[in-house]
Amino acid sequence: MDYFPIFLKLQDAPCLVVGGGDVALRKIRLLKAAGARVTVVAPELTAELGEMAQQGALHWEPGYFAPGQVAGMRLVVAATDQRPVNQQVSAAAQAHNIPVNVVDDPELSTYITPAIIDRSPLVIAVSSGGAVPVLARLVRARLESIIPAGFGLLAAFSARFRDKVKARFGDVEARRAFWESVLEGPLAEAVMNGREEAACLEMEKRLASRTDTPSGAVYLVGAGPGNPDLLTFRALRLMQQADVVLHDNLVASELLELVRRDAERIYVGKARANHSLPQEDINLLMVRLASEGKRVLRLKGGDPFTFGRGGEEIETLAEHGIPFEVVPGITSANGAASYAGIPLTHRDHAQSVTFVTGHKKDGSINLDWPALTRPDQTVVVYMGLTMAAELCAAFIQHGKPADTPVAVIEWATTARQRTLTGTLSSLPALISSYGVASPALIIVGSVVTLADKLAWYRRVENAPATMPDSQQT
């Protein structure tokens, strides 16, 4: 280990920065964030540093560095582009046993500034020992993507209860187990979602209990259109914490591989006229599992609130007093259109977009056809594959031209994606000839004509000779 990692308290501590350029500005921002009292020595300052000096946010000593200026400082930074000056600053600081950093010059530095992930009071530092700063920044970027912003709130919340938890659990192992259940459970989610008052009440309740049985919760998580890279950070984190996962046939197998290995998986898939579990039974199953203290993940393709029946499910949870959270996902319409190169709105083609399901709860297609057949709009049909012939006929019957461009997108955003384009009159035969299967989405409108030019992620196959008025991209 070339450097000893350490966190230095700089609150109201005097620190010296030699240099008044952009490099010095970046260092000063970090020092100010840590509460330091900064003195800058430089003949000139950047506009931002000059403004900070005028506002009293730092003390500026115009002119050139003199060794005596390091006296009494907690920390020294040399940020000039002149190595002789930097050498002088380093020598003066080391003579007084003051930690000194010379920017981009580890040889003259007694400490180096790491890449920082700030979730105060939780702070993480990453360093390559000054050898490859870019690598440290890449590692920081990776950590930023997996460490929730709310961890700072969680750290501060936990610190408030540290002494109470220590008094309640004298045994170290019992205390560790308690904190693990808190920091990975619904209580932590409540804190990170800003519901601190409710979290405090739950924490006091658990500390007062002699059995300490953690309460369960349900997380309705949107898995997006299929590509694992399109998951939100929050969705991925909850997938890796869940005790039980309820999933359906719209959730790609690649996504299920990201779920915690030892989590129980329950398939509750629903296809048209073939339900693994009725919706009411799914709702009650979530209630039962959460009542047993389990963290239940209801994983849904797309977004839970866009034809995902999320509203029906949380109504039942609310009626039974089960804590729940909804994590949005990229809805299938957005994912499919983006990956097929079909803008849902475009100034030359569509000024509005409508999402509609292919059939109602009773299986009918008695939709608002006057609204769906208006010009200059895009209509996206969910769950319309098996009713494609009836839907196309209804569009035409209610005034939509038979040659209106349409697209059907199968397994959108995944390696299996196919985009077939045609017209209202040709779509049913197109689906049949290509053997298109669920999950698939239908887009109706002139924006479909842009697919050939704008598609960037596609699988090309030749259109069948029997359909000269359609093309496939």
Name the percent of the chain lying above pLDDT 90: 61
422 is in an annotated binding site: no
Told to judge if 270 belongs to the known catalytic residues of this protein, a careful annotator would answer yes
C-alpha to C-alpha distance for 67 and 422, rounded to whole angstroms: 78
Mean per-residue pLDDT, 196-214:
84
Q: Write down the pLDDT at residue 362.
A: 58
- Give the model's confidence band at 460: pLDDT under 50 very low, under 70 low, under 90 confident, else very high: very low
> Over the stretch 374-428, which tens digit does the pLDDT of each residue have?
999 999 999 899 899 999 999 999 999 999 999 999 999 998 899 999 999 999 9
44 is in an annotated binding site: yes
Q: Residue 177: is its pLDDT beyond 50?
A: yes
C-alpha to C-alpha distance for 3 and 6, rounded to whole angstroms: 9
Say which CATH topology domain 14-113 has. Answer: Rossmann fold (3.40.50)
Q: Write down the pLDDT at residue 472.
A: 44
C-alpha to C-alpha distance for 264 and 405, rounded to whole angstroms: 44
Q: Write down the pLDDT at residue 464.
A: 45
- Give the model's confidence band at 459: pLDDT under 50 very low, under 70 low, under 90 confident, else very high: low
**Nearest in space to 245 (alpha carbons), one of 213, 196, 282:** 282
Please, what is the average pLDDT of the chain? 89
C-alpha to C-alpha distance for 404 and 158, rounded to whole angstroms: 59
**Cα Rg, the chain, nearest whole Å:** 30
Chain centre to alpha carbon of residue 122: 20
User: What CATH class does 333-472 carry?
Assistant: alpha beta
302 is in an annotated binding site: yes
Q: Residue 99: is its pLDDT beyond 90?
A: yes
Mean per-residue pLDDT, 181-195:
86
Q: Residue 136: is its pLDDT beyond 50?
A: yes
Chain centre to alpha carbon of residue 181: 23
pLDDT: which is higher, 81 or 212: 81
Taking residue 45's Cβ as centre, other Cβ atoms within 10 Å add up to 21
Q: Write down the pLDDT at residue 75.
A: 97
Q: Are 397 and 429 in contact (CB under 8 A)?
A: no
- Give the model's confidence band at 463: pLDDT under 50 very low, under 70 low, under 90 confident, else very high: very low
Please state, in angstroms and as integers, the Cα–Cα distance from residue 203 to each residue in 132, 155, 179, 377, following that order. Answer: 44, 14, 11, 51
Q: Residue 359: is its pLDDT beyond 70?
A: no
C-alpha to C-alpha distance for 191 and 87, rounded to whole angstroms: 48
- Give the model's confidence band at 213: pLDDT under 50 very low, under 70 low, under 90 confident, else very high: low
Q: What tokens appear for 8 in the block? A: 């230095």
**Nearest in space to 445 (alpha carbons), one of 408, 404, 473:** 404
Question: Of the listed 27, 248, 300, 400, which one is catalytic?
Answer: 248
pLDDT: which is higher, 171 or 85: 85
14 is in an annotated binding site: no
* pTM score: 0.69
303 is in an annotated binding site: yes
Q: In what order do the strands lie in the sheet with 471-472?
A: 352-357, 377-382, 440-444, 405-410, 418-423, 471-472
412 is in an annotated binding site: yes
Type of residue numbered 465: A
Q: Residue 431: is its pLDDT beyond 90?
A: yes
Question: Of the listed 32, 104, 118, 270, which one is catalytic?
Answer: 270
Q: Write down the pLDDT at residue 268.
A: 87
Place of tokens 């208006």: 374
Supply the DSSP symbol for 464.
Answer: P
Q: Is 435 left (phi over 0), alpha (psi -120 to 50) or beta?
A: left
CATH (residue range 216-330): 3.40.1010.10
- Give the model's confidence band at 363: pLDDT under 50 very low, under 70 low, under 90 confident, else very high: low
C-alpha to C-alpha distance for 459 and 436, rounded to whole angstroms: 14
Most confident residue range from 166-180, 183-197, 259-273, 437-451: 437-451
Q: Residue 445: is its pLDDT beyond 70?
A: yes
442 CB-contact burial (10 Å; exposed 0-12 / middle 13-18 / buried 19+): buried
Mean per-residue pLDDT, 210-218:
76
Domain boundaries defined on the chain:
14-113, 216-330, 333-472
- Residues 6 or more apart whose CB falls under 8 angstroms from that of 80 comprise 18, 19, 21, 24, 42, 86, 89
> Over the stretch 241-285, which tens digit does the pLDDT of each residue have?
889 999 987 787 888 888 988 889 999 876 554 556 788 899 999
Residue 246 main-chain phi, psi, to 5 deg: -105, 120
Q: Write down the pLDDT at residue 249.
A: 78
Q: Write down the pLDDT at residue 171.
A: 84
